[in-house]
Amino acid sequence: MPLPTPRRRSMPSGSRHRTPVHRRRRRTGFRIALAMVLAAVPAVILLNTSQAAAPTGLDDPVKKEIAMRLVSSAENSSLDWKDQFDYIEDIDDGRGYTAGIVGFCSGTHDMLDLVEYYTDQVPDNPLAEYLPALREVDGSDSHEGLDPGFTDAWKEAAQTSQFQAAQEHERDRVYFDPAVSRAKGDHLQELGQFAYYDAIVMHGQEGFDSIRDAARAEADTPAEGGDETTYLNAFLDARVTEMKKEAAHEDTSRVDTAQRVFLDDGNLRLDTPLSWHVYGEPFEITSDPEPGTSPTPSPTTTGEPGGGDEQLISRGRPATSSSDEDSALTAGRAVDGDPATRWASEEGSDPQWLRVDLGENSTVSRVKLLWEAAYAKGYRVEISADGTSWNQLAVEANGNGGTDEWTGLSGKGRYLRVYGTARGTAYGYSLFEVEAYGTTGAGPGPTDPPTDPPAGAFTVVGAGDIADRCDQGDAGCQHFKTADRAEAIDPAFYLTLGDNQYDDAHLDDFKNYYDKSWGRFKANTYPVPGNHESYDDYENRDEKAYREYFGSRATPQGKMWYSYNRGNWHFVALNSNRFDEREQLDWLKADLAANGKKCVAAYWHEPLFSSGDHGNVPVSRPVWELLESSGAELVLNGHDHHYERFAPQTRDAKADPNGIVEIIGGAGGKDLYGAGDTVQPNSAKRIWDKFGVLKLDFTDTGFRSQFVGTDGTVLDTSPTYSCH
């Protein structure tokens, strides 16, 4: 989920105290236009450089060490930046592998430059054999030729002083030196030099230039005769504005509760002691650090303060939750002992809970909660012998995230529950770890009985923009993969969201391509046409081949729009090519008036709201108005080739809990378009670079949606919505 800006308040009274937690946060991907920077600077420079000019600012070794620790607190939730040389993972940001001390990426050229430079210095190194593959994947998120050995080779190389020196060299060449040089030219002291450096690390040279231009439009630099504090405030304001343009950067605490704090204190020289917060976590540098040394880690508590027989009893125990945001953020991740994994509930819904089975007759004297940025403002810690009757151990009414530790507790039972009553953010609840200390009882006991499925439960799979004119063996052909994933889900039925066959949806193309993938479900598919179906008979804009291929399933009620029921749901399938025809609108009005089901879902091709390449399609507005007036819950569309989920909204794009949820599922197989120019209001989730299908779980009283990638990964999960 996006990281909201955590808030930290004064410590409330009571038996709870907070301790800092050091963990590696998910990296956000730093460069927007890095290739332009790298192209402008030669890549090959000897490791042993000649003597440089005497440092006069942030390039002083002590100040530079402070700068490295400040950046690391934001990028890794740790001051120990030297611990990141061997870091490498794909964080699914479209840049391939992200690695090392500033996130060199296989898709943004700087990782290639680094490995080429390192290989010039040390030809016989573990990464040299991967240079051809790095050149091939440069500019993409592909791992082709890198897996499975590249990550191990990176970690092996990172143990050598030569590769560590190479990383530091490239960090300085691309980020640090250009930032400090520009800041000195603007007559900024160490704080301003650091603000420039941190901005280039995140936004790249082009992004930094944009921020600086915006700041200079508001205030003069000291070199231009302006006041340094006034200018830096303008720069930080522009930085925050830039960060909020991208969901991955929308947590601005590295500015608001770090750089801005130093500026408000008048500490333009970055003199120690320094104290700041990032993502709600506290950090400090009490005195000038010695360059080349690692910071002393803060002590962590693993047993009872003051001694005793207290033990950690929650680690690895069975855990359940009220909901999970997706399949990678389940309850067990909060008791696995790994501070990099977490549980997250569905977004936007209260209450939510996480329950741990400690074993019968366990005692609990202390509970420690490590919150992710999506924290609880209000919650209870409870214990129960049977999972039904709960006794309260602790209550929080004004939480602010970070680490909560409750001591002096006196609880006895089998189940421990953290019960969230008020979210601290617009998202859900998310815990890295739940740690319960005390003594264990007789063991976990019998497994909880399975719960019956909700009344009327059934699953539907849908997708739009599906079949390209390619065969299963063709490189990059995706519609066979989405068909395989749809079949693996085993839904009650399938629906399509238009543009089922490309390019002009002729009958031969349907038979040669769509029929061999999604065609296996034709007898159990409820389709709608898209604009490409109308290209078959281009002169008359008629979906002739679509009707011929799908037969009666295209026109079950005589027209290319129809309705049907399943459980407590009424489904309406529409033809957006003909929204300008009064006949379809009159039919829809009468159909909705005659509907006797509690819940309504509608689907057609062209969406009223979209952040994608096509954008909003106003021709759909009269249809939305009729659905909104009838209290419909869900609208599904295609047309733009990406996945997007909107929060409930009205026809005028006003957020409304009683509004309609719109989901775009245009990633069914045809080429993806990528990000559009404008993110529309109420857009809750956008995935531009993954093919996949919509999985829709319906009950008699509501629904939940998921976007499932072709590899089976659940990439997004909606809240569970109730029918109006």
* Lookup: tokens for 164: 């560590």
Backbone angles phi, psi at 418, to 5 degrees: -100, 115
Q: Are strands 458-463 and 493-496 parallel, antiparallel or unpaired?
A: parallel
Token duo for residue 683: 């857009």
Give me the catalytic one of 65, 90, 93, 170. Answer: 93
Q: Could you tell me which of 252, 171, 174 has the C-alpha nearest to residue 211?
A: 252
Catalytic residue among 59, 65, 75, 186: 75
What's the rounded Cα separation, in Å, for the pair 345 and 354?
Answer: 9
Q: Please count the other Cβ atoms lying within 10 Å of the Cβ belonging to residue 60.
A: 16
Backbone angles phi, psi at 553, to 5 degrees: -70, -20
> Nearest-CA neighbor of 641 among 689, 706, 711?
689
Residues 6+ apart with CB under 8 A from 82: 101, 164, 294
Which of 566, 475, 565, 466 lies closest to 515 in space, CA to CA?
A: 466
CB 538 within 8 A of CB 498: no
Q: Measured in whole angstroms, how far is the alpha carbon of residue 393 from the centre of its chain?
A: 33
C-alpha span between 485 and 483 (Å, rounded): 5
606 is catalytic: no
Q: Given its phi and psi angles, is residue 476 left (phi above 0), alpha (psi -120 to 50 degrees) or beta?
A: left
For residue 169, give the nearest of 250, 107, 85, 235 by alpha carbon: 85
Distance of alpha carbon 271 from alpha carbon 537, whole angstroms: 74
* Rounded-to-integer distance, Cα 691 and Cα 689, Å: 7
Sheet order of strands, 97-99 included: 88-90, 97-99, 104-105
Q: Are 365 and 310 in contact (CB under 8 A)?
A: yes
Residue 342 tokens read as 């977490």
Q: What is the 3-state secondary structure (H, E, C) of 505-568?
A: CCHHHHHHCHHHCHHHHHHHEECCCCHHHHHCECCCCECHHHHHHHHHHCCCCCCCCEEEEECC
Is the CB of residue 547 less than 8 Å from the CB of residue 517?
Answer: no
- DSSP β-bridge partners for residue 395: 380
User: Is 542 considered catalytic here?
Assistant: no
Q: How far apart are CA 506 and CA 532, in angstroms?
A: 9
Report the distance separating Cα 60 and Cα 53, nearest Å. Answer: 11
- At 199, list the tokens: 């901005």
With tokens 């040669």, the residue in question is 512
Contact 196, 143 (CB under 8 A): no
CA 306 vs. chain centroid, Å, equals 41
What is the distance between the alpha carbons of residues 387 and 138, in angstroms, rounded to a whole number? Answer: 53
β-bridge pairing 411-423 and 352-371: antiparallel
Q: Which residues are catalytic?
A: 75, 93
